[in-house]
Chain A
Amino acid sequence: MNEINPPQAAEYLRFLPEIILIVAGALLMVLEGVTTTPAQKRRLGYFALAAIAAAMLGGVAANNNSGQAFHRMLTVDGYGTFFRELVLGVGFFCLLSSFEYLRREGAETGEFYALVLFSLVGQCILATANDLLMVFIGLEVSSIASYILAGFLRGDRRNNESALKYFLLGSFATAFLLYGMAWIYGILGSTNIDDIHNVLSGTDRIVPLPLIGMAAALTFVGFAFKVSAAPFQSWAPDVYQGAPAPVSAFLSAGPKAAAFAVFFRVFMTGFGPINGRWVPLVWACALLTMIIGNFAALAQTNVKRLLAYSSIAHAGYILVALTADSQVGMAAMMFYLASYGLMNVGVFAVINHVANRHEKFVHISDFAGLGKREPATAALLTVFVLSLIGVPLTGGFFAKFYVFRAALDSHLIWLTVLGLLNSAVAAYYYLKILAAVYMQEPGEATSTLQPLEPGLRLTIWATALGTLLLGIFPSALIGFVSNSAATVLGKLGP
């Protein structure tokens, strides 16, 4: 293990998506200096889109050649590939829907696109990380780019507040995580997730359990922060409300999915052998997250803030899958994040469309009469909202169904009952959006709507179709996620 082997070509191939994104991002920073007109800037945006598409293809190529890379720092498997493609897809559509937004705000620059790419690099690393050090690097790369994105419109006070809060609280959480990692290294002598698992499951265990429990708790705090789980959720509403709409969409779907990916991988594989210790903790955390998210959302009138709380609530449902601590749970979490990514990016794209300049219209009542003004957009928004509620034939329903199935398989009856009741509570605040859209007369916002811009139109249609597809024909994805989960958990052996 100590001898230095130069990485082989196959290992670079497994790192291909990240390489493409880094090169493209760096190139964008250079090109930013030589472009001047908005049309040229827009072309940079298209270039970034192409880079993401190329990275997605690179991800497929890497998956065909799966295995570990760089001294077991990375594991490219079905699980990692799934999250790579997921975050890249989220990034693609958020970027696509940001063109119109940036043009409206007069802020079209190559920096924005480069930052999105860098953030994606971090998330891709998180998706495949097999070592706590890589986890830390991925998290930082992703977060630092995200902090800047959250405050991208420098002149806007809400943006600044959002970025500052995100930065301060995020760094705090990262510190917890890093501290936990240091403990783990000190106790176990390794930061590799496989090694952690092996040491902890070894028969000749001489590991002091209270210490390793403490270390796991510290990493738990860090991850819980990143996925906005209670009681570490308080940053999310302010950040999502303040950040530019496409960035809010990105933050609530991309980094969260990547954080969940690594959260599950670390806890279900690395800390799998001591699951008796952390499962009760996650149980309480899941319940608290669902309750806080849903009940706080009831009182919201700002759509972005409402969706921030809804995103907290959804994190709670996903934590139910972690509590299940099973292969089905892991597969359910993957399915959930895929459908959540689709519906959330879609609903934020509609908000982006209605919001107008300087996000003037982000109140629920601003959606009044959308059904009369733009029946098609309203119908697609309905698909997203129904999916967020969890109504059948949408991805959101099947995701919830899958999560609670996993929970019942693991005999978490009370958590299931309380979770289901929570989802009934959630229906109330989502219905407020639908009520405004279909049951009220058009107001100022919907009367002055600009025609739907092509990028936004494509985003909304693609994500709506995806949401329906996952709801009506989930089979293919279920097959993939359960195989991937089986691989992740299976390679550990009994």
Chain B
Amino acid sequence: MSILLLTLFLPLAGFFVLLLLPRNSPLASPLARGIAILTAVLSWGLIAPALQSPATYTSSIDILWISSLGIHFHLGVDGISLWLVVLTTLLMVVGVWISDSLILERKKSFLALLLLFEFGLIGVFTALDLFVFYVFWEVALIPMYLMVGGWGGPRRVHAAVKFFLFTFLGSVMMLGAIIYIAAQAESFDYRQIIAGLSSGTLRFSSNEQLFLFLAFLLAFAIKIPIFPLHTWQPFAYEQAPAPATFLLAAVMSKMGTYGLVRFCMGLFPNAAHRCADWIIVLAITGIVYGACIAIVQSNIKRLIAYSSISHLGFIVLGLFTFDQRGADGAVYQMVAHGVSTGALFVLAGYLERRRGSMEIGDFGGIATVAPSLSSVFLIATLASIGLPALCNFVGEFLVLQGAANVHFWWAVYAATGVILSAIYMLWMYQRTFYGKAQGVNESLTDLTPSEWAPVLVLLVPLVWMGVYTQTFLPAISSANAQWISQSQARDEVQVKLYPALRPNGGLAPASISAALAGRVAK
């Protein structure tokens, strides 16, 4: 029995078992926790094979699913998806754990939805068949919609519907693109399509590539979200119950960034090149915009939400530099952002439960009454700012380095986001934790042992990723090198095919598009 299959279907089995349990069964929490932990442990079994050959798909499963359309249930893990799967299963342990104390009613249903969500996420990060990818993409959406709408704040229904509609609108366009590609390629298989594209048996005109790329991009850009498609996000983060916010920020946004690497870059490198400048402008705008808006937020959850927009901008920037370092930094940042923002949202959830509010103005002086909580919050805050020796530093540094390699001023603009992040995070920290505790704040309690456990689970990778990058980076690098080299190879092939079109042997971008145009004409 393949370990990937077990990792994937264990949460689904858990979902069904939880559904069948009676409503207030005391078994629900331990069972969900056990399944989440077991899934996490199982997912570590994927690490060794993937580290051995990170540029190929290991632990793969390939089962014929819908024979009449040639759809295979094809999954595999490479250096990029590996760490995202491990991140997902780890964060899900945290998610299930904190739900125990943060979700008070209909706990069983909530835990069941969490496990269904985990099933969808693992599937998204490992799918190697476009159809299967789409299926998991939507499977992950439904439980999140129900969690936000069923357990969230006062305007939860509105937030949930907005969240669903935005993401669904993006994904139907992606569905159209998938059908179109499959009709041309006569296969849904990611690797076959890539092989067809690189051998030239499968060709799309440059306009086709552009539109297909944009259809995928729309789905991913909404999910990440990239400015200006972010309007659903702060609202959803604010209204969602704490564990759902935690997962939305920490892992669901990675569905989008992962999709960018795997599908936008993998399938349409030329179109991605063509649009790179525009997308980088949006990414940098998002970095600065998110940071500026975060400064003026009065609600902690909203502040972290806007800071997320800013941090996710770095990931997009790194990917679209098409530079090895930039891409490595981007993928590293996907995992690091999951851990650091995850930690912030977990701790924010604890604060919210204690105080019943997320308004910064309601807090103050927490450091004296809850010193441990304040210390770990400070660590998470510093990680988010990008302090060296903590996880975010590595990713953002590499992204900026990659951006500087390609275009120095991009790095300069993006770096302002790092400075701004210090302003909004530290200011928020100061107002929340320092000063004199007054009123209800005087009686707030410190972390309990059961609250410590998930915090520790997050602190370990937070530091590990900051000080020992060699665990993670080589696998990410070689997987990235693969698509970067492929994208360059395909460019060169096209130029070489039409030497006559190359003015003076130059490699100007104009000649590439001229070559493409020539191919279309033929």
List the interface of chain A (C-beta within 8 A of B).
Answer: 371-372, 375, 379, 386, 389, 391-393, 397, 401, 404-405, 408-409, 413, 416-417, 420-421, 423-424, 427-428, 431, 434-435, 438-440, 473-475, 478-479, 482
* A and B contact pairs by CB, cutoff 8 A, 20 listed: A375-B109, A379-B19, A389-B168, A392-B134, A393-B139, A397-B138, A401-B175, A404-B175, A404-B179, A405-B182, A408-B179, A408-B183, A409-B183, A416-B179, A421-B172, A427-B164, A435-B157, A435-B161, A439-B150, A478-B66
A400: nearest residue on chain B (CB-CB)? B175
Instruction: Enumerate B150-176 residues with CB–CB distance to A below 8 Å.
Output: 150, 156-157, 160-161, 164-165, 168-169, 172-173, 175-176
- A392-B130 Cα distance, complex, nearest whole Å: 13
A422: nearest residue on chain B (CB-CB)? B172
A479: nearest residue on chain B (CB-CB)? B68
Nearest Cβ on chain B to A398's Cβ, whole angstroms:
8
- A424 contacts B179, CB within 8 Å? no
- A93-B381 Cα distance, complex, nearest whole Å: 59
- A393 contacts B135, CB within 8 Å? yes
Nearest Cβ on chain B to A226's Cβ, whole angstroms:
29
- A285-B67 Cα distance, complex, nearest whole Å: 33
A428: nearest residue on chain B (CB-CB)? B165
- A411-B164 Cα distance, complex, nearest whole Å: 29
Residues on A with C-beta less than 8 A from B168 are: 389, 424, 427
- B463: Cβ under 8 A from any A Cβ: no
* 9 nearest A-B residue pairs (beta carbon): A392-B135, A420-B172, A478-B68, A424-B169, A439-B149, A392-B138, A424-B172, A439-B157, A405-B179
- A420 contacts B68, CB within 8 Å? no
B172: nearest residue on chain A (CB-CB)? A420
- B278: Cβ under 8 A from any A Cβ: no
Most buried by B among A393, A438, A478: A438
Residues on A with C-beta less than 8 A from B141 are: 391
Most buried by A among B23, B141, B175: B175
- B179 contacts A401, CB within 8 Å? yes
Residues on A with C-beta less than 8 A from B109 are: 375
Instruction: Enumerate B125-143 residues with CB–CB distance to A below 8 Å.
Output: 134-135, 138-139, 141-142
Nearest Cβ on chain A to B271's Cβ, whole angstroms:
17
- A421 contacts B134, CB within 8 Å? no
- B180: Cβ under 8 A from any A Cβ: yes
Most buried by B among A421, A431, A440, A482: A431
Residues on A with C-beta less than 8 A from B23 are: 375
Instruction: Enumerate B504-519 residues with CB–CB distance to A below 8 Å.
Output: none
- B41: Cβ under 8 A from any A Cβ: no
- B423: Cβ under 8 A from any A Cβ: no
- A427 contacts B165, CB within 8 Å? yes
- A392 contacts B68, CB within 8 Å? no
- B160 contacts A435, CB within 8 Å? yes
- B69: Cβ under 8 A from any A Cβ: yes
- A435 contacts B149, CB within 8 Å? yes
Nearest Cβ on chain B to A399's Cβ, whole angstroms:
13
- A392-B150 Cα distance, complex, nearest whole Å: 22
Residues on B with C-beta less than 8 A from A375 are: 23, 109
Residues on A with C-beta less than 8 A from B149 are: 434-435, 438-439
Residues on B with C-beta less than 8 A from A482 are: 68
Residues on B with C-beta less than 8 A from A392 are: 134-135, 138-139
Residues on A with C-beta less than 8 A from B172 are: 420-421, 423-424
B158: nearest residue on chain A (CB-CB)? A435
Residues on B with C-beta less than 8 A from A427 are: 164-165, 168
- B146: Cβ under 8 A from any A Cβ: yes
- A428-B165 Cα distance, complex, nearest whole Å: 7
Residues on A with C-beta less than 8 A from B164 are: 427, 431
Within 8 Å by CB of B146, from A408, A424, A438, A473, lies A438
B135: nearest residue on chain A (CB-CB)? A392
- A431 contacts B161, CB within 8 Å? yes
Instruction: Enumerate B369-393 residues with CB–CB distance to A below 8 Å.
Output: none
A389: nearest residue on chain B (CB-CB)? B168
Nearest Cβ on chain A to B113's Cβ, whole angstroms:
10
Residues on B with C-beta less than 8 A from A474 are: 66, 68
* Known A-B contacts A393-B139, A424-B169; A438 and B150 likewise in contact (beta carbons under 8 Å): yes
Nearest Cβ on chain A to B495's Cβ, whole angstroms:
29
Residues on A with C-beta less than 8 A from B19 are: 379
- A404 contacts B176, CB within 8 Å? yes
- A393-B135 Cα distance, complex, nearest whole Å: 7
Nearest Cβ on chain A to B140's Cβ, whole angstroms:
11
Residues on A with C-beta less than 8 A from B69 are: 478
- A409-B182 Cα distance, complex, nearest whole Å: 10
Within 8 Å by CB of A391, from B66, B68, B138, B169, lies B138
- A434-B149 Cα distance, complex, nearest whole Å: 10
Nearest Cβ on chain A to B316's Cβ, whole angstroms:
23
- A428-B166 Cα distance, complex, nearest whole Å: 10
Residues on B with C-beta less than 8 A from A423 are: 172
- A434-B145 Cα distance, complex, nearest whole Å: 10
- A416-B161 Cα distance, complex, nearest whole Å: 24
Nearest Cβ on chain B to A120's Cβ, whole angstroms:
30
- A440-B68 Cα distance, complex, nearest whole Å: 42
Residues on A with C-beta less than 8 A from B139 are: 392-393
A427: nearest residue on chain B (CB-CB)? B168
- A379-B112 Cα distance, complex, nearest whole Å: 13
- A154-B442 Cα distance, complex, nearest whole Å: 70
- B146 contacts A416, CB within 8 Å? no
Within 8 Å by CB of B165, from A391, A420, A424, A475, lies A424
- A427-B23 Cα distance, complex, nearest whole Å: 29
Nearest Cβ on chain A to B171's Cβ, whole angstroms:
8
Mark interface residues in B102-115 (1 if CB within 8 Å of A CB, else 0). 00001001000000
- A409-B181 Cα distance, complex, nearest whole Å: 11
Nearest Cβ on chain B to A471's Cβ, whole angstroms:
9
Residues on A with C-beta less than 8 A from B156 are: 439
- A420 contacts B134, CB within 8 Å? no
- A223-B169 Cα distance, complex, nearest whole Å: 32
- A391-B156 Cα distance, complex, nearest whole Å: 22
Most buried by A among B68, B134, B139, B180: B68
Within 8 Å by CB of B67, from A401, A413, A440, A475, lies A475
Nearest Cβ on chain B to A189's Cβ, whole angstroms:
41
Instruction: Enumerate B175-211 residues with CB–CB distance to A below 8 Å.
Output: 175-176, 179-180, 182-183
- A401-B71 Cα distance, complex, nearest whole Å: 13
- A413-B180 Cα distance, complex, nearest whole Å: 9
Residues on A with C-beta less than 8 A from B146 are: 434, 438
- B142 contacts A386, CB within 8 Å? yes
B215: nearest residue on chain A (CB-CB)? A417
- A346-B141 Cα distance, complex, nearest whole Å: 23
Nearest Cβ on chain B to A104's Cβ, whole angstroms:
28
* Known A-B contacts A386-B142, A393-B135, A438-B149; A428 and B179 likewise in contact (beta carbons under 8 Å): no
- A391-B176 Cα distance, complex, nearest whole Å: 14
Residues on B with C-beta less than 8 A from A438 are: 146, 149-150
- A92-B346 Cα distance, complex, nearest whole Å: 52
- A134-B462 Cα distance, complex, nearest whole Å: 74
- B135 contacts A408, CB within 8 Å? no
Nearest Cβ on chain A to B156's Cβ, whole angstroms:
7
Mark interface residues in B411-432 (1 if CB within 8 Å of A CB, else 0). 0000000000000000000000
Nearest Cβ on chain A to B399's Cβ, whole angstroms:
33
Residues on B with C-beta less than 8 A from A405 are: 179, 182-183
- A421 contacts B169, CB within 8 Å? yes
- A440-B150 Cα distance, complex, nearest whole Å: 8
Residues on B with C-beta less than 8 A from A479 are: 67-68
- B173 contacts A420, CB within 8 Å? yes
Residues on B with C-beta less than 8 A from A372 are: 106
- A439 contacts B66, CB within 8 Å? no
Residues on A with C-beta less than 8 A from B161 are: 428, 431, 435
Known A417-B173, A421-B173; further 20 A-B contacts with Cβ < 8 A? A391-B138, A391-B141, A392-B135, A392-B139, A404-B179, A405-B182, A405-B183, A408-B179, A408-B180, A420-B172, A424-B168, A428-B165, A431-B164, A435-B149, A435-B157, A438-B146, A438-B149, A439-B156, A475-B66, A479-B67
Residues on A with C-beta less than 8 A from B176 are: 404, 408, 416-417, 420
